Every structure is written in structure tokens, then in C-alpha cells.
Amino acid sequence: MALTQQRKLEIMGEYQTHETDTGSADLQVAMLTDRISKLSAHLKINQKDFASRRGLMLMISRRKRLLSYIQKQSVDRYKALIARLGIRG
């Protein structure tokens, strides 16, 4: 369920904080969110794929830690990011 190079570039274009940004917390959260949504769709079809379910849980916890970091740095940036990504309704 890895992201293709083209999809990574699309996400980078949307969520980069500056032109040479390749790994800011905002960008990492956006990429993880895309991977999480694809893996969730996979698990709806393949319910007994426990190895992928474990990977999904690891990705969710990593995203949660990154979001916590962003929230500590700037609450406004955190709120804007979760609104753009459509998470935590």
C-alpha cells in the first residue's frame, strides 16, 4: 500500500510549508492520512488481514503523535490541518 511517486508529489504540492519542504510534520501527517485511508479500504474487503491491520494501527499512532506535536507548536496550524485533511470530525 505504498504511495506512488506521482501521488507523493501531489501531496507535497498541497501541504508543503515552503518550496524545499520534504518532511515537515504537516506533510508527514498528510502522507500518513492518505496511506491510512487506502489501507482502511483494503481492510474492509480483507477482514482477516491481521498483519495489515497491525500496520494500520502503527500508522494511526504515528499520525497521532505527529498531530500532538503540531498542536503543541501551534493550535491554529493544528486546527487548519485537521480541517484540510477532514479528520477528527
Query: For residue 3, what is the DSSP state?
Result: P
Residue 88: what pLDDT? 80
CATH number of domain containing 65:
1.10.287.10
Residue 1: what pLDDT? 61
Query: Alpha-carbon distance 16 to 24, whole Å?
Result: 8
Question: Considering the entire predicted model, what is its pTM?
Answer: 0.91
Containing H/E element for 22?
none
Q: Is residue 55 part of a domain?
A: yes
Query: Alpha-carbon distance 36 to 60, whole Å?
Result: 7
Q: Is residue 1 part of a domain?
A: no
CA angle, 29 then 31 then 34, to 5°: 110
Residue 2: what pLDDT? 80
Q: Are 31 and 39 in contact (CB under 8 A)?
A: no
Phi/psi of residue 20, nearest 5 degrees = -100, 15
Per-residue pLDDT of the chain (89 residues; tens, 9 = 90+): 688 999 999 999 999 989 999 899 999 999 999 999 999 999 999 999 999 999 999 999 999 999 999 999 999 999 999 999 999 84
Domain that holds residue 40: 23-85
Q: How many domains does the chain have?
A: 1
